Amino acid sequence: MSDGRRDPALYAAWEGALRDGSFEEVFSTLEEVVAHLEDGRLPLAESIACYELGVRLAARCERFLGEAELRVTRLEEVATSFYDPGEAGEDDNADA
């Protein structure tokens, strides 16, 4: 799309990734949108539309990462609730 005109199929694919994509797909799409903007050959209205889509893609990536962080934190809490290193040390001393 080197002439600066909007490619409806490309935008539809980007919107689809935003709506249904995995983290990797959304992040890759964000990189494509940024490259498209950096090309610098877009009319102002299309540049703004790309920028808005980029912001939405970045927000979606941030949500994915936030959800992943929350899951890891919960797993760590569950894991530490089953094993407390302080208790294991006390049991080892009781046998000595």
Range of the domain at 19: 8-91
Q: What letters, b where the CB count within 10 A reaches 16 and e where it falls short, cover 39-68?
A: eeebeeebbeebeebbebbeebbeebeeee
- The tally of domains found in the chain comes to 1
Check which CATH number belongs to the domain holding 59 and give it.
1.10.287
Q: What is the pLDDT, as a whole number, of residue 1?
A: 41
Is 1 part of a structural domain of the chain? no
Q: Answer yes or no: pTM beyond 0.85.
A: no
Provide the residue-wise pLDDT of the chain in tens; the chain has 96 residues: 445 467 889 999 999 999 999 999 999 999 999 999 999 999 999 999 999 999 999 999 999 999 999 999 999 999 888 876 665 555 555 554
Is 3 part of a structural domain of the chain? no
Q: What is the pLDDT, as a whole number, of residue 82?
A: 82
Q: Which residue has the tokens 């919107």?
A: 15
